[in-house]
Amino acid sequence: MNHEVLEEEAVLRPATRSALAELTSVPGVQAPPRRAALRADKTVRVAIVHDWLVTYAGAEKVLEQIVACFPDADLFSLVDFLDDRSFLRGKRVTTSFIQKLPLARTKYRTYLPLMPLAIEQLDVSAYDVVISSSHAVAKGILTGPDQVHISYVHSPIRYAWDLQHQYLQQSKLTNGPKSAMARLILHYIRNWDIRTSNSVDGFVANSEFIARRIKKLYQRDAQVIFPPVDVEAFSLCTDKEDFYLTASRMVPYKKIDLIVEAFARMPERKLVVIGDGPDMQKIRAKAGPNVEIMGYQPFKVLKDRMSRAKAFVFAAEEDFGISVVEAQACGTPVIAYGKGGALETVRDVSESRPTGLFFDEQNAESIIAALERFDEHVKRFSPVDCRHNAEQFSAAHFRERFFSHVRAAVPALRTATLPPYVPYKAEAAAGAPRILAVDQSGVLGGAELSLLEIVKALRSRIEVVLFDDGPFRTALAKAGASVEVLEAGALRHVRKQGGSLPKGQALKGLVSLVRATAKRARKADVIYANTQRAMVIGAFAGKLARRPVVWHLRDIVSPEHFGGKQLAIIKWCARFGLAHVIANSAASARAFTELTQFDEKRVDVVFNGISAAPFDALRTVPQATLRQRLNLPQDAFLVGSFSRLARWKGQHVLLEAMVLNPQMHAVLVGAPLFGEDQYEIELHAFVAAHNLGERVHFLGFQHDIAACMCAVDAVVHTSITPEPFGRVIVEGMLAQRPVVAARAGGVLEIVDDYENGVLCTPGDAHGLADTLAELRSNDELRNRLVRNGYQTALSRFGTTTYVDGVARILKGVAGR
């Protein structure tokens, strides 16, 4: 226990429990007398209850600051499926029985009828103060007469109250037996919600808007404490440029489509859109040439555009609206829909020192009028005024107000002081090694997606070095990883298929990379090389830094995949600098040991782990909706190919099968990545020569592979040379689509022919065409493959087994 905690405990020791028995003035609360005595030597125990822990969003940012106010508190939640636990300061969470129910990780919301029962089973009877952070059922936690329960309400459960009808419409539950059942459940939830409001001693609302909801529903007053905004992460910028910005998750209620539609009708004004989500295609379709849709961007890019924008446009009705405050923190005025929390965070032009203006209707016409009015008043908006207004919503201000409110409500805490805020840095578990992961690519290929799963799980003790920038770096940063890009120079042009060995500038680049990697490796216990070029750099860097090197082998090292010189380098590096090898299949391991004569005891097979969450999240989305989003035909039998466009991946085999089978369409997802543009040209030429233009759909690179797979009827794997693993096969199984794969390499360790997939001879277009025709006509076969394939993917290729296997090996090597 550190010094600050010991001091805090000394402060929190009250004289008697009678102090806790008296509740000071909290709006709407009449404090009853409390009889039990609190021993002078006992610390005030605090429990914090949150609805569910599955992501890090607005409610969790509030929870983060509440935990910072009470660092010794214990945490409770219905479920806890967090990957990144740093905002909880590494605390363990006590969960309910829902945690162990089937598909709870992705389908926890479907257990809504059980949530009131579940929250009541969490035992907080040993605590003196209970703080609930509630937007659903957390405020229903059971407390006794000698406990103080303060509930910070993000909102009364929306879909049970004023948003019920909207919820039923979006869920397609407006009529029928399911609708009747849903309405009955929501009626029960409302009754329970009102009853449990009586057990709360004091309500805190995140805005006046929510306070009015609380008053209307519970007939209780609430103290307003605005949620924390990381104002310090943004800096004042007084130089504005001639463009507008909107940034948000692209979901219907955010109304990004209305903003884009308005700007499409004003070609003289430029709009920048940052964000991603299910409405992306709909929004792109409405965009004109004056609208730049950037998609998801890392924080650095968002901050830059937000700082330089002429104004931030916001069309949603939010309870609070954090992005509105973030824009003002940059000195950027806001044009917002005049309803909800924005009314409390933006000063309109009718006030002195305005920071924005409002529009009255959620439609394009109203937005256009607001933009014209903004131009009339533009000189009245001062970046300094915007920044000053935003500072009242800072995290530090939240902690001060919330801690003071709790202290006032609990006299036993009257002498307590707010703990100093210390940014949390997760510490590695005792005995866990520090890891330097090295990868050559900035592209999100199969190897990089697999490494991403490792990084998410071991984030607190792993740093990543890349030799190229790109989407992979963005994905790592989004996952909260520590990542650095080193300049590869001429080395980035070296391919595993062969070519000249690096000379001159390339050799200079090699030395530079080795030194830079070795410098970072000295802070680690083990180097984890994820790709072949990274392994070569890692082997030399390991010798310089005196650190063991583990290569995660994701290739079959044979002449079919590598040039002769590259094979010689692999063989030499294996003897020179590798401590251990992790192979992604027995086929990969076998080829490696045959080439290098490496000690088989230092080679382990760990199958790639692939998360089911992105696929399970689409279970309720109709296939027609996904096809419409991707601009694919609704009624055709679609066969999907998912990999980069490369000759050895065999997309041409699928196109040849399409010629033989006119009843099908082919969907090609992927782009040429490593100088393979000529192959893409050949594929397009083949399509044109055989009049396949209406039946072959090139979708290019796609971020949402799960949505693309769920949009097709079958998934094919057409590699003409042996695959080391075949990630796309497992993904197809998770998408619950029948899979057809080439009979070679690591594929044979995944697919049992005609049980969980169908195997075909590599390069045999006729055999592939016949198999696809059989799949199309045989419902029983398709259903069997889907059922067995999904179980195979879950049981053999889950992320937990994968991460545990890799972590175990890295720990063992580091400890030698």
For residue 32, the model assigns a pLDDT of: 43
* 97 falls within a domain: yes
For residue 154, the model assigns a pLDDT of: 92
Kindly write down the DSSP assignment for every residue of 15-44, as one continuous string.
S-HHHHH-----TT--PPP--PPPPTT-PP
Do 709 and 789 lie in a common domain?
yes
* 563 falls within a domain: yes
Do 623 and 691 lie in a common domain?
yes
Do 209 and 237 lie in a common domain?
no
The model's pLDDT over 230-260, given as tens digits with 9 standing for 90+, comes to 898 899 999 999 999 999 888 788 999 999 9
- Enter the DSSP assignment of 315: -
* 739 falls within a domain: yes
Do 252 and 216 lie in a common domain?
no
Please name the amino acid found at residue 286.
K
Which of 132-141, 181-190, 663-672, 759-768 is least confident?
181-190
Sequence length of the chain is 816
Question: Could you tell me the pLDDT band of residue 23, with boundaries at 50, 70 and 90?
Answer: very low
For residue 696, the model assigns a pLDDT of: 97
What CA–CA distance (Å, rounded) separates 318 from 302?
20
The model's pLDDT over 252-309, given as tens digits with 9 standing for 90+, comes to 889 999 999 999 999 999 999 998 777 887 888 888 899 999 887 777 889 999 999 9
* 190 falls within a domain: no
Is residue 738 pLDDT above 90, yes or no? yes
Of 391, 422, 451, the one marking the end of a domain is: 391
For residue 57, the model assigns a pLDDT of: 78
For residue 11, the model assigns a pLDDT of: 35
Question: Could you tell me the pLDDT band of residue 493, with boundaries at 50, 70 and 90?
Answer: low
Q: Which domain holds residue 674?
A: 613-797
The model's pLDDT over 440-459, given as tens digits with 9 standing for 90+, comes to 888 888 889 899 989 988 88
What CA–CA distance (Å, rounded) separates 363 from 327?
22
Is residue 1 pLDDT above 80, yes or no? no
Question: Could you tell me the pLDDT band of residue 162, with boundaries at 50, 70 and 90?
Answer: confident
* 116 falls within a domain: yes
- Enter the DSSP assignment of 490: G
For residue 799, the model assigns a pLDDT of: 84
The three-state secondary structure class of 517 is helix
Do 331 and 278 lie in a common domain?
yes
Of 605, 626, 641, the one marking the end of a domain is: 605
For residue 782, the model assigns a pLDDT of: 95
Q: What is the 3-state secondary structure (H, E, C) of 431-480?
A: CCCCEEEEECCCCCCHHHHHHHHHHHHCHHHEEEEECCCCHHHHHHHHCC
Query: Burial level of 320, CB count in 10 A (0-12/13-18/19+)?
Result: buried
For residue 341, the model assigns a pLDDT of: 85
Do 702 and 572 lie in a common domain?
no
Do 576 and 672 lie in a common domain?
no
Do 323 and 449 lie in a common domain?
no
**Residue 431, phi then psi, degrees to nearest 5:** 85, -5
For residue 7, the model assigns a pLDDT of: 37
To 5 degrees, how large is the angle CA 716–CA 718–CA 723?
A: 110
Residue position matching structure tokens 């005891």: 601
Do 386 and 439 lie in a common domain?
no
* 804 falls within a domain: no
Which of 47-51, 497-501, 572-576 is least confident?
497-501
Which of 61-65, 475-479, 486-490 is least confident?
486-490
Is residue 399 pLDDT above 60, yes or no? yes
Higher pLDDT, 94 or 11: 94
Q: Residue 379, Cα to own-chain centre: how many angstroms?
A: 40
Do 591 and 720 lie in a common domain?
no
Do 146 and 281 lie in a common domain?
no
Largest CA distance in the chain: 89
Kindly write down the DSSP assignment for every residue of 539-551, as one continuous string.
HHHHHHHT--EEE
Q: Which of 302-316, 427-441, 605-619 is predicted most confidently?
A: 302-316
Please name the amino acid found at residue 55.
T
Percent of the chain residues topping a pLDDT of 70:
91
Question: Could you tell me the pLDDT band of residue 614, with boundaries at 50, 70 and 90?
Answer: confident
CATH number at residue 331: 3.40.50.2000
For residue 12, the model assigns a pLDDT of: 37
Percent of the chain residues topping a pLDDT of 90:
64
Closest Cα to residue 348, out of 377, 323, 321?
377
For residue 406, the model assigns a pLDDT of: 96
For residue 694, the model assigns a pLDDT of: 94
Q: Which of 33-47, 378-392, 672-686 is predicted most confidently?
A: 378-392
Is residue 575 pLDDT above 80, yes or no? yes
- In this prediction, residues 728-750 reach a mean pLDDT of 95
11, 414 in Cβ contact below 8 A? no
502, 410 in Cβ contact below 8 A? no
For residue 503, the model assigns a pLDDT of: 57
**Residue 47, phi then psi, degrees to nearest 5:** -115, 140
What CA–CA distance (Å, rounded) separates 528 from 453?
14
Is residue 789 pLDDT above 70, yes or no? yes
- In this prediction, residues 335-344 reach a mean pLDDT of 92
Q: Report the 10 Å Cβ neighbour count for 295.
A: 14
Question: Could you tell me the pLDDT band of residue 426, with boundaries at 50, 70 and 90?
Answer: low
Is residue 583 pLDDT above 80, yes or no? yes
* 134 falls within a domain: yes
Do 623 and 521 lie in a common domain?
no
For residue 736, the model assigns a pLDDT of: 96
Closest Cα to residue 441, out of 502, 482, 494?
494
* 170 falls within a domain: no
Question: Could you tell me the pLDDT band of residue 64, with boundaries at 50, 70 and 90?
Answer: very high
Higher pLDDT, 67 or 55: 67
- In this prediction, residues 161-189 reach a mean pLDDT of 81
**Residue 26, phi then psi, degrees to nearest 5:** -120, 130
Closest Cα to residue 802, out of 602, 610, 530, 612?
610
Task: Share the mean pLDDT of the chain.
Answer: 88
For residue 20, the model assigns a pLDDT of: 33
For residue 90, the model assigns a pLDDT of: 80
For residue 25, the model assigns a pLDDT of: 38
Is residue 3 pLDDT above 60, yes or no? no
Tokens of residue 406, six digits: 């709790």
Tokens of residue 715, six digits: 């998934």
What CA–CA distance (Å, rounded) separates 123 from 96?
10
Close Cβ partners of 711 (under 8 Å, ≥ 6 residues apart): 623, 626, 627, 629, 630, 632, 638, 640, 667
Of 605, 624, 640, the one marking the end of a domain is: 605
Is residue 39 pLDDT above 90, yes or no? no
**CB-hemisphere CA count at 13 Å for 285?**
8
The model's pLDDT over 511-561, given as tens digits with 9 standing for 90+, comes to 889 999 999 999 999 999 999 889 999 999 999 999 999 999 999 998 887
Q: How many domains does the chain have?
A: 4
Question: Could you tell me the pLDDT band of residue 429, with boundaries at 50, 70 and 90?
Answer: low
